[in-house]
Amino acid sequence: MEQVTRRRVICGNWKMYKTIDQALHFIDELSPIVANANCNVYLAVPFTAIKLMADKAKELHISIGAQNMNDATEGAFTGEVAALMVKDAGASFVLLGHSERRRVFKEDNAFINRKVKRALQSDLEPILCIGETFEEREEGRTQEVLKEQLTACLNGVDRELAKKLIVAYEPVWAIGSGKAATSEIAEEIQSFCRETLASLFDAEVADRTPLLYGGSVTSENSKDFLNQPNIDGLLIGSASLHPESFAKIIQLCQNSASSNDSLAKGE
């Protein structure tokens, strides 16, 4: 079977940081560095910055996205933001199922599943985040937990729409802790995730789905992850808040010697 070409994705997640002025200053500093990037550069920014960031990034090799959305099309949901609103503001993708949404805001797999479907219906590219806790890993339940999350969060997703999916593995115990998983552990997990996607859809969908690693990623350790055959990119937290460190990771992605070193830009 012909080898499938997968996209390379470096995605920054700013969480609840940066005002609009700070965001625009960041993109001014970053844009010259990524002008000729051969990997996809994504930034998940606060809702307040999406419109201006998306407008400014139109001529750049940068995709702007949201960090969350509601599953409803509209309604009396004070403080929530709908997929169509996010899309209308200029976002092209959305993070869903991040561990902070699961842990702090008590989002379950069923809710995330509805949001994944809504994002796809609204022509937003979902980045589905999955990951186990320290306790679950210590109990030897990592694969069980990840399979449950993937199966439940992708339940009923149309196969053709699933081709727009990105999956990010972020072990909860590594996020913000400074304790990243080793590249070998991350590769083993991503290989398992690809097998699970094949069982949920088919080999073609699994082979073309970009799999990202996230969790205490830095410019120092990112190269090891990017050289793994089943790790197609990174989801980056604090290191994406600084143009210098984020740019260095993008450059490492461009130069990485993975098995997919001739990867296309987004379709």
pLDDT tens for residues 174-229?
877 677 789 999 999 999 999 999 999 999 999 999 999 998 899 999 999 999 99
The domain spans of the chain are 9-255
How many CB atoms within 10 Å of residue 266?
Answer: 15
pLDDT tens for residues 58-91?
888 899 999 999 999 999 999 999 999 999 999 9
Arithmetic mean of pLDDT, 45-63: 94
How many alpha carbons fall within 13 Å on the CB side of residue 131? 30
Query: Contact 69/47 with Cβ under 8 angstroms?
Result: no
The catalytic residue positions are 98, 170
pLDDT tens for residues 106-162?
999 999 999 999 999 999 999 999 999 999 999 999 999 999 999 999 999 999 999
The pLDDT value recorded for residue 58 is 86
Single out the residue of 91, 107, 40, 109 nearest to residue 117, CA to CA: 109
| H-run or E-run covering 205 | helix 203-208
Q: What is the CATH number of domain 9-255?
A: 3.20.20.70
